Amino acid sequence: MNDQMSGKSSVSSSLRIGPSGGQGSASSRLYADLRQRIVGLELPPDTTLDRSELAEHYQVSQSPVREAILRLEQDGLVQSFPQSRTVVTRIDVSRIREEHFLRVAVECEIVRRLAEESPQATVTKIKGLVRLQEALVNDVDQADLFKQLDEAFHEALYEGVGQVNLHRHIVARSGHMARVRTLDLPKKGKMRAVLEGHQAIVDAISAGDGAAAAAAMRKHLSGTIERLPALRDEKPGYFS
């Protein structure tokens, strides 16, 4: 069992965050770095995060650490206890289903609208992202980059209908699903399935077929949910 899963804190692999840019900047950067490491399972469930150790490692005061921890707690990714001990939460299946429901409702409507409006800049951008993913699809070692392109694809859809703030809100509230996707993406055939889902969405938007675009998005977002029981069996200690 590694140190993280045995409850010991681990922050040694992250870049330090200096004091430049002000407290708000330090807090935001600390939050973003810790969130990425939690979602990417570098800091898996049950990892203990010591606030004093975080402050020392990132070379910041206690104040931005508290602010970053509070934001992570609001996201449901950590839970704080007395005496400054904070623990990465286990993946909550009920939260996953809520997050999935929200994304399906919002993103099916987004692609329907995009199909009706067909903004050329958005269509060009998502086609380009799909081409980049296609170049990586057979290389599991590139899963992290593939995942970044996946996230960029969905963000571009929100941008296409002028809902960037909504995208930020949904990302912040989808940390449990994001961790499951991290578990799922390296599985055989998953990257190919994601690529094919994106291509179907692009084709439907390009054809101006809103119903087909919504159906393609619904199918695309269902894949990880369908594999959830197998992922729980594989990593039972990650789930509550």
Single-letter amino acid, residue 229: P
Phi-psi region of 189 (alpha: psi -120 to 50; beta: other; left: phi over 0): left
User: What digits encode the pLDDT tens for the residues 37-62?
Assistant: 999 999 999 999 998 899 999 999 99
**What average pLDDT does the chain have?**
89
| Alpha carbons 31 and 63: distance in angstroms, whole number | 12
User: What digits encode the pLDDT tens for the residues 91-138?
Assistant: 999 999 999 999 999 999 999 999 999 899 999 999 999 999 999 998
Tell me the average pLDDT across 59-87.
Answer: 90
Query: What DSSP state is assigned to residue 91?
Result: B
Q: Given a cut of 90, is residue 19 above it in pLDDT? A: no
Query: Is the Cα torsion angle 168, 172, 177, 183 positive or negative in sign?
Result: positive
SS3 236: helix
Contacts of 49 (CB under 8 A, 6+ apart): 9, 11, 34, 43, 69, 78, 86, 87, 88
- Residue 84's pLDDT band, with cuts at 50, 70 and 90, is low
pTM reported for the whole predicted model:
0.85
